[in-house]
Chains A and B, each alone.
Chain A
């Protein structure tokens, strides 16, 4: 390894892996967003709120199980399901009547919903910062790459990313439901005309997309402070990733998240003072040369 480090510094490897673990969270959230965008054509600004609710629910679950780090595993199961339940109510109660509306109107509506969710979270959980402890087995760090410490929890995230990606691939490509959803994304009326209950498929897709937002919220919770406003920070990045990758394309979301995560972490290495601009430069570059996104958009 020392020979390798003499060509490429160990810091670069460390930075790439940190970037990849960040990619995991971005991908999970952005894939949910793009799924809903592609199939239901809803630019769901409230997606960030669901991510926030996922994180807050994770906090409550770990707290109720005694504040121990093992509560996190329970939260990993319960919190995304709770978010899925909320989204099911929202879909059946509201969105199913609005699929034919203008995108701008849906954008405004979901923005309004995100504000309402923000206030509801404040009512339920209060305005104090919350913190979810890192699960016991992933506390601390290991020396990787020339002895530079690497957080164990980030290794867990690195493993979680591909699992979610493979499950999503199986769901969209290998199940009947996934095939219908992909068909409905291209031509909704045709799918309805052959006797398939499109409304039900849409509801399922919407719930799965929102489940992913909740899952992202739980996974990010141990690394950050769970606080009001975390929704706004994320939703912008998620939309940029979705736009970069191509609207509605899950693999586009993966590619976009990879670009976003890696340009950020490597940008910090190259020029720490202005590290923040690199992901946005990448977005600008992509949109200049491929205005419809890197991969094929379903729109």
Chain B
């Protein structure tokens, strides 16, 4: 009887432990015959809407590569870990992946603080780390090193791209508003500094900053309306994007004062609002499933839609291209060696669904195009899409190698 009870409580503890630490996927013992990639990302909470895109895009490319016999005769395998949007957990997970799962490559995450922590660890362990959704410019700037690769846009790029496009508009009196954390401030600051450089006559009418996750923007908007600026730069992210657009529509802001948000024209923001999203909002984004309307983009969209029953978004492209670069990098290196992989990837250019994309040699930043556009109705879709799209080429809006390397320590 006693033994039974001990056994019961022991098993209870085990089950509880499983729940506590999460059920890790891909627990297979490290085999020499595979290339192992460890993904650390946020799979709980609101960020999931973006991180699943990365994982699914990556999986799609990996399946393609493995179906063709893999890389250097080896299949690519991957394991995922949920960092719950917490840098300390993320770092522990990355360590666990390297020590227990013996992964060759790390990738992730949507949380910039986690990305920086994992990046630091990757540098010490000399393991290549591919950043798939974090937007901090510190990742390849201030805290950059030769083992980290940035596979998506960063705040420095966003700010510069938006400044280039907005400088062509007639607005002079700007109001700056945003999420009161690093992402918001970083975008607003680079945008403003670049805008002042290109168009010195711009003026700042005022600023408002709200807490991250603010749901009700009405009081902020009524205050900005009373100040009557020509244009508003809105540096929000996540669910704040939709919240702000809804409040802009309800208060009539979108009809009175034009404003800009990064990803305002993106599917993740516009699709949930269906036909109720405000028209005429300026935005930037790095990927649309409907633009450019080329056979290679259509093929990618079809493939992704068949596999996951939804349209791919920027994260999907980022995940997809990361897998392609890993595979082609090893092929070019000719051996499973991390240093050789890094050398091979520098300045490597690959065909992507939206045209050729290269990894810049000096700072390991993926050179991807940026699109500037405005929210507009389109009879083909049941939601608003990007209209009046202008392409900004990577070389025009990426900070120069000198600028990036100057801030590196």
Number of interface residues of A (CB under 8 A): 52
Q: Is the interface of B mostly helix, strand, loop or mixed?
A: helix
A37-80 contacts to B (CB < 8 Å): 67
Residue of A nearest to B213 (CB): A233
A227 touching B239, Cβ below 8 Å: yes
B252-270 contacts to A (CB < 8 Å): 252-253, 256, 268-269
B398 to chain A minimum Cβ distance, whole angstroms, is 29
Total contacts A-B at CB 8 Å: 146
Interface string of B193-221 (1 = CB under 8 A from A): 00000000000001111110111101110
Tell me whether B296 is interfacial, beta carbon within 8 Å: no
Question: What are 28 A-B residue pairs whose CB atoms fall within 8 Å in the complex?
Answer: A15-B222, A18-B218, A19-B219, A22-B219, A25-B216, A67-B274, A127-B46, A128-B271, A128-B272, A129-B242, A129-B268, A131-B273, A133-B276, A134-B250, A139-B250, A148-B226, A151-B251, A154-B250, A223-B215, A223-B250, A224-B239, A228-B45, A228-B46, A272-B207, A273-B208, A273-B209, A275-B210, A276-B214
B38-69 contacts to A (CB < 8 Å): 44-46, 48-49, 52
Could you say which residues of chain A place their CB within 8 Å of the CB of B216?
Answer: 22, 25, 223-224
Could you say which residues of chain B place their CB within 8 Å of the CB of A189?
Answer: none
Contact A9/B226 with A127-B49, A273-B207 known, Cβ cut-off 8 Å: yes
User: Complex Cα distance A115/B342, Å?
Assistant: 41
Tell me whether B32 is interfacial, beta carbon within 8 Å: no
A227 touching B46, Cβ below 8 Å: yes
User: Complex Cα distance A22/B215, Å?
Assistant: 10
Could you say which residues of chain A place their CB within 8 Å of the CB of B273?
Answer: 131
A228 touching B48, Cβ below 8 Å: yes
Interface string of A88-99 (1 = CB under 8 A from B): 000000000000
User: Complex Cα distance A222/B216, Å?
Assistant: 11
Could you say which residues of chain A place their CB within 8 Å of the CB of B33?
Answer: none
Tell me whether A268 is interfacial, beta carbon within 8 Å: yes
User: Complex Cα distance A203/B271, Å?
Assistant: 41
Tell me whether A32 is interfacial, beta carbon within 8 Å: no
B209 touching A129, Cβ below 8 Å: no
B242 touching A225, Cβ below 8 Å: yes
Tell me whether A140 is interfacial, beta carbon within 8 Å: yes
Tell me whether A239 is interfacial, beta carbon within 8 Å: no
Could you say which residues of chain A place their CB within 8 Å of the CB of B48?
Answer: 122, 127, 228
Tell me whether B364 is interfacial, beta carbon within 8 Å: no
Tell me whether A169 is interfacial, beta carbon within 8 Å: no
User: Complex Cα distance A18/B215, Å?
Assistant: 13
B223 touching A272, Cβ below 8 Å: yes
A219 to chain B minimum Cβ distance, whole angstroms, is 12
Tell me whether B243 is interfacial, beta carbon within 8 Å: yes
B274 touching A225, Cβ below 8 Å: no
Contact A153/B250 with A18-B218, A269-B223 known, Cβ cut-off 8 Å: yes
B209 touching A149, Cβ below 8 Å: no
Tell me whether B180 is interfacial, beta carbon within 8 Å: yes
User: Complex Cα distance A10/B246, Å?
Assistant: 24
Contact A276/B210 with A141-B250, A227-B239 known, Cβ cut-off 8 Å: yes
Residue of B nearest to A141 (CB): B252
Interface string of A157-169 (1 = CB under 8 A from B): 0000000000000
B405 to chain A minimum Cβ distance, whole angstroms, is 33
B220 touching A275, Cβ below 8 Å: yes
A233 to chain B minimum Cβ distance, whole angstroms, is 5
Tell me whether B225 is interfacial, beta carbon within 8 Å: yes
Tell me whether A21 is interfacial, beta carbon within 8 Å: yes
User: Complex Cα distance A128/B216, Å?
Assistant: 19
A149 touching B256, Cβ below 8 Å: yes
Could you say which residues of chain A place their CB within 8 Å of the CB of B225?
Answer: 148-149
B246 touching A131, Cβ below 8 Å: yes
User: Complex Cα distance A273/B224, Å?
Assistant: 12
User: Complex Cα distance A272/B226, Å?
Assistant: 12
A15 touching B49, Cβ below 8 Å: no
Interface string of A22-38 (1 = CB under 8 A from B): 10010000000000000
Could you say which residues of chain A place their CB within 8 Å of the CB of B253?
Answer: 149
Tell me whether A119 is interfacial, beta carbon within 8 Å: yes
Could you say which residues of chain A place their CB within 8 Å of the CB of B113?
Answer: none
